[in-house]
Structure 1
Amino acid sequence: MKPATAPSPPLSAHLKKPLGPILMLDDIREGQMHLAALFIAPNGQEMPPIELDGISISAENIATYQHVTIWRCRFSRPATDPSHYRWNGNRFDLAGCPEGAMQIAYVSCNGEEHGDLTRDGDERNAMWRQLAETHDQTPLSLLLHGGDQVYADEVTLGHPLSHDWPDRLPRDPSRGDLVDLRDHLRERFLDRYIAVYDTAEHAHLAARVPSLMQWDDHDICDGWGSLRRSRTYSPVGQMLFDCAREAALLFQHGCVDGDLPARFADPTGLHLGWSITAPGLRLLAPDLRSERSRREVMGTSGWRMMEGAGHTPAPGRTFVMSSVPVLGPRLSVLEWVMMAIPSMQKYEDDLRDQWQSRAHRDSWQHLLEILQRIASLDGQDVTVLSGEIHLAARGEMALGTGKVMHQLVASGISHRAPPKAWARFLDMLARFGDSPLPGHPIQMRPIPGQSHRYVAERNYLLLRKSEGNWQAQWALEDSGPSAWMPL
């Protein structure tokens, strides 16, 4: 096998100055936000320290690439009060997470499958620009990234072992060739993250709003975990996963193996599920990719984390980040139809990715039972945040005793919307409803101000807490902001 075209020079070769600071929230405990500031700098450049109240905190080298070094600085700031830090002569203000009033943004699907590195920046980052302006008007406490932070589908191109992934694979690649593939993939994953972080719109937010991220398939490759085992468990597939995981730890969480932040459920990183708890707020993000197979969305470790959350009191609001929507139409019907039509079977992996797939029915019911358990205690509510489908939408599931679980879907912030006909088709399918848990029907509802259940526009979501009550608002590219919706 030979690649069709020679790979282009990596973006890292052209980097002239450090990218950063890129803030990640490691944890909240003992009244402090524990933060990690990430920097991507040309090799050989020294990194200025973070300045806090007259104290200098030096950055440490946590990874090295062909042309750049990855630096990280960990520090703490007050959790519930506004604060700031300084770096390289600049002051960066932080809103903190006050219990009574805060605003959080949720984004997903930051890219496209093909040609994302060559898109016009003004067009690609239009919604990022709008979100940055929103932050300047009403500061954001946190920025939640719900999956597909990068679209890495093309990282396999240009290397003989992976150029035809996943259609054709070498039968018995040598160890030397696999080492060469690792070097190729590491540099190409690096390119994807540099392309995201080296934009004015994203950089403005990344330095001022701590991020929390949950990965999805395109952070690895399209359909990871729903592909055939012969692909994902092949030497090339495992190398692809290992390089994607290393990149996700570095560029989405600011860490490497052996020093995962305390918010992660498994310090060894077998799965990358995490949770954050603050007064009146819990953020819960299971890992839906590390242990995924064609029959299971999560493995034993992931389910153990979710079961533990279901039995741990969390007064206030629990926001559950599920990169793939938990509430939605009966896609199992569509899956059955597609499998009966040979020309449509190529979409099987896309449908396998969904909780509503017939292959995941038991897992879906199990998750819904856990979420119902969380909301069953007095003083506890649960809301699900999802992306993945490149549409804006919302759903509801009756939990009993007058409680309702809301599903808020915001996708994508830079991925262009699919045809409106697809949104209308899903709208029609959603009219049938579903009840995976007997007596707890699921209904998809229009976003405030919209006449249809699915909106085919680029978008992001704002979550606002005011006077103890949470509300949600969608920012839609063409329609503008929706009315605030009580949760």
Structure 2
Amino acid sequence: MRPANSPSKQRSRPRPAPPVILMGPLLRARGAQGATGSAQRWRVSACFLLAGEAEPPDLRVEGVTLPVPPRFLHEWRDLPPVGPVGVPCPSGILRLWRYDFAVPRGLQDGRAIYRFQDDERQWTLSVPGTAIPPRIAFVSCGGCEDEDTIEAAGLKRNALWARLLSRHRAQPLHLLLMGGDQVYADGLWERVPALGQLSATRTLMKRTGMAAGPGLESQLDAWYIATYLHAWTQAEPAAIQAGVASLCMWDDHDIIDGWGSHPAELLDSPSYQAIYAAARRAFRLFQVGMGDDDPSDTVLASAPPGFSQGLLLNGVGILAPDLRSERTETQVLSPATLAELPLWLDQFAACRHLLLMSSVPLIFPGFGLAERVLNLLPGRQRMEDDLRDQWRSPAHQEEWRTVLRILADFARRSGTCVTILSGEVHLGATGLISGPGTRLRQLVSSGIVHPPPAGLAIQLLERLAARRESLWDRLTLTMEPMAASGRRLLAQRNYLTINGQDEGDLRAEWHSETQDGTWAVTLG
């Protein structure tokens, strides 16, 4: 007889319970690693928001020999059940974890299956081949101030996310660029109890001397977590973020509407600073995948507070300046960041193409007259901060010219084709600044969820877009017609794809509710 303690009689140790995933995986692109050619690797971070304090298992990634250990990023405990309607923040202990790995790349496109060790759940990462022209998607405005208006307009919230996901499954994307307003946090005024007294005060400037109620910090953390859960756990955006590595840059609605364009005494008040701190923490953790003390490899800024980022993909450079962290009524970027901009650009001088993400369009009709009229009226007008957000606001006019001159100078010196990618205005459009030795292209795409403006607003914008403007140094600004009718604005929800061509050009196509690729432009 076998001894009672022989291996055949021993009970196997029970496997630990699989992690409870609240959100994720969220893939964040970290760029290529190694020399050009088949030895290159595609570097990625995968972030998971998990319930409980237990350390999750290692990640097994196809093509990566060793298991990938988790890295702890942040913990929240016992947050209140605050959040959008029907999406309260989960209770208990919440922890965010990050896995960093580099997948080998061949000449052709590949894929890598990844999963937790001893877990049946798995996901597939798109890995760009080193000899394949890049395939990139650009999205913005992934929510709405009041999502009831989406259904009221006869639209399905995630219809375009579903289109993008279907396209990715047919021909995998290499990189997803998320250009701002990934979430809409504005509902905090109605849903965060500690802000009740402030939200009841409709006159913004009267809020400067008012104190918030107790528990503000934890309620704000709960609000932003629940807001991200609402936006990013829905099936289509969740599947895209699990399969395509992305680079994200924020805009005002990721904080609150108009952040940075309100008067300093309002933004510096304790309640508004608490809102900004919670929004910044959520953006840093969820959108950049960056812990408290470890800068992401993509972040370029030499010092806080900026999150400006950049990376390379198969000869195409992507630069995403942070246009919110330093924004005030009188500046978009600080003088120190403006001084760094030419140095950042020089890192992409060997690229044939540079895609520069500007959350607010750089090349677009100006609304200076409308803003000046509002400034003459007493009180803080509803649209005033929206107009001041624009690069062409009178408050930012000189800085706008400075940035364009820096870009034009870089394009002339390097021979790089510079294209600006923007969202924010809930329309599709393409603009051009041209003149002796200068050509800067603007592509506008928004929103993938937010409905477009309608009626008289579109008619007015079309008339403004039809004007040909003379600038300085014999430069002209034009919004290019994108339809046989001469129409210059795409007044439908839309997203953008940018695909490399064999001859080295890029082809940009807008995909909207009723038009798929009929709006297109070649970037040569």
TM-score by length of 2: 0.83
User: Which residue pairs with 1:316 in the alignment?
Assistant: 352
Residue in structure 1 matching 2:198, options 154, 158, 164: 164
1:234 equivalent in alignment to 2:274: no
User: Which residue pairs with 2:24 in the alignment?
Assistant: 20
1:295-320 CA-to-partner distances (Å, cap 9, x unmatched) read 00111332133121344423310100
Amino acid paired to 1:140:
L
CA distance in 1, matches of 2:453, 2:507: 27
User: Which residue pairs with 1:388 in the alignment?
Assistant: 424
CA distance in 2, matches of 1:283, 1:97: 18
Q: 1:99 to 1:294 in 2, by over 3 A?
A: farther
Residue in structure 1 matching 2:47, options 26, 38, 41: 38
CA distance in 2, matches of 1:450, 1:260: 48
Counterpart contact for 1:145–1:212, Cα < 8 Å: yes
Counterpart contact for 2:175–2:246, Cα < 8 Å: yes
1:273 equivalent in alignment to 2:311: no
Pick which of 426-435 and 222-231 moved more. Answer: 426-435
Q: 1:466 to 1:79 in 2, by over 3 A?
A: same
User: Which residue pairs with 2:144 in the alignment?
Assistant: 112
CA distance in 2, matches of 1:99, 1:377: 27
User: Which residue pairs with 1:410 in the alignment?
Assistant: 445
Pick which of 149-158 and 236-245 moved more. Answer: 149-158
CA distance in 2, matches of 1:207, 1:104: 16
Amino acid paired to 2:193:
H
What are the within-5 Å matches in structure 2 for residues 128-147 of structure 1?
128-147=161-180
1:51 equivalent in alignment to 2:60: yes
Counterpart contact for 1:223–1:353, Cα < 8 Å: yes
1:169-228 CA-to-partner distances (Å, cap 9, x unmatched) read 363749xx67x2111101100001111221110111111100100100000100000011
Per the TM alignment, residue 268 of structure 1 is displaced from its structure 2 partner at its CA by 4.4
Secondary structure (helix, strand or coil) at the match of 1:406 reads: strand
Amino acid paired to 2:390:
Q
Residue in structure 2 matching 1:476, options 494, 509, 512: 512
CA distance in 2, matches of 1:250, 1:463: 27
Amino acid paired to 2:423:
G
Residue in structure 1 matching 2:100, options 74, 97, 100: 74
Counterpart contact for 1:271–1:301, Cα < 8 Å: no
1:272-306 CA-to-partner distances (Å, cap 9, x unmatched) read 11111344211111111000000001113321331
Amino acid paired to 1:433:
R
Structure 2 unaligned runs (5+)?
1-18, 35-39, 79-90
Residue in structure 1 matching 2:217, options 163, 168, 182: 182
Amino acid paired to 1:20:
G
Pick which of 357-366 and 80-89 moved more. Answer: 80-89
CA distance in 2, matches of 1:434, 1:185: 44
Q: 1:439 to 1:138 in 2, by over 3 A?
A: same
Per the TM alignment, residue 168 of structure 1 is displaced from its structure 2 partner at its CA by 4.2
What are the within-5 Å matches in structure 2 for residues 330-345 of structure 1?
330-340=366-376, 345=381
Pick which of 442-451 and 204-213 moved more. Answer: 442-451
Once superposed, what is the RMSD of the aligned Cα atoms?
2.6
Structure 1 unaligned runs (5+)?
1-14
User: Which residue pairs with 2:401 in the alignment?
Assistant: 365
CA distance in 1, matches of 2:450, 2:123: 32
Per the TM alignment, residue 51 of structure 1 is displaced from its structure 2 partner at its CA by 0.9
User: Which residue pairs with 1:9 in the alignment?
Assistant: none
Per the TM alignment, residue 70 of structure 1 is displaced from its structure 2 partner at its CA by 1.3
Per the TM alignment, residue 369 of structure 1 is displaced from its structure 2 partner at its CA by 0.4
1:467-486 CA-to-partner distances (Å, cap 9, x unmatched) read 11111000011233325421
CA distance in 2, matches of 1:185, 1:148: 18
What are the within-5 Å matches in structure 2 for residues 447-462 of structure 1?
447-448=482-483, 451-462=486-497
CA distance in 1, matches of 2:145, 2:55: 35
User: Which residue pairs with 1:327 in the alignment?
Assistant: 363
User: Which residue pairs with 1:8 in the alignment?
Assistant: none
Counterpart contact for 1:260–1:267, Cα < 8 Å: no
Counterpart contact for 2:42–2:127, Cα < 8 Å: no
Pick which of 241-250 and 53-62 moved more. Answer: 53-62
1:207 equivalent in alignment to 2:235: no
Per the TM alignment, residue 435 of structure 1 is displaced from its structure 2 partner at its CA by 3.4
Amino acid paired to 2:137:
A
Per the TM alignment, residue 237 of structure 1 is displaced from its structure 2 partner at its CA by 1.2
Secondary structure (helix, strand or coil) at the match of 2:383 reads: helix
User: Which residue pairs with 1:150 in the alignment?
Assistant: 183
CA distance in 1, matches of 2:72, 2:451: 36
Counterpart contact for 2:361–2:423, Cα < 8 Å: yes
Amino acid paired to 1:107:
V
Per the TM alignment, residue 44 of structure 1 is displaced from its structure 2 partner at its CA by 4.5
Amino acid paired to 1:263:
T
Amino acid paired to 1:60:
R
Q: 1:440 to 1:145 in 2, by over 3 A?
A: same
CA distance in 1, matches of 2:481, 2:226: 38
Q: 1:326 to 1:118 in 2, by over 3 A?
A: closer
CA distance in 1, matches of 2:244, 2:234: 15
Count, aligned residues: 469
CA distance in 2, matches of 1:167, 1:239: 17
Per the TM alignment, residue 118 of structure 1 is displaced from its structure 2 partner at its CA by 10
Amino acid paired to 2:33:
R
Secondary structure (helix, strand or coil) at the match of 1:429 reads: helix
CA distance in 1, matches of 2:54, 2:417: 48
Per the TM alignment, residue 455 of structure 1 is displaced from its structure 2 partner at its CA by 1.5
Amino acid paired to 1:141:
H
Counterpart contact for 2:300–2:307, Cα < 8 Å: yes
Residue in structure 1 matching 2:390, options 350, 354, 360: 354
User: Which residue pairs with 2:73 in the alignment?
Assistant: 62
CA distance in 2, matches of 1:478, 1:397: 29
Indicate the structure (1 or 2) with the bigger Cα radius of gyration: 2
Amino acid paired to 1:134:
R
Per the TM alignment, residue 122 of structure 1 is displaced from its structure 2 partner at its CA by 8.1
1:86 equivalent in alignment to 2:86: no
Q: 1:293 to 1:454 in 2, by over 3 A?
A: same
CA distance in 1, matches of 2:196, 2:41: 45
1:435-474 CA-to-partner distances (Å, cap 9, x unmatched) read 3433110000122556311121000000010111111000
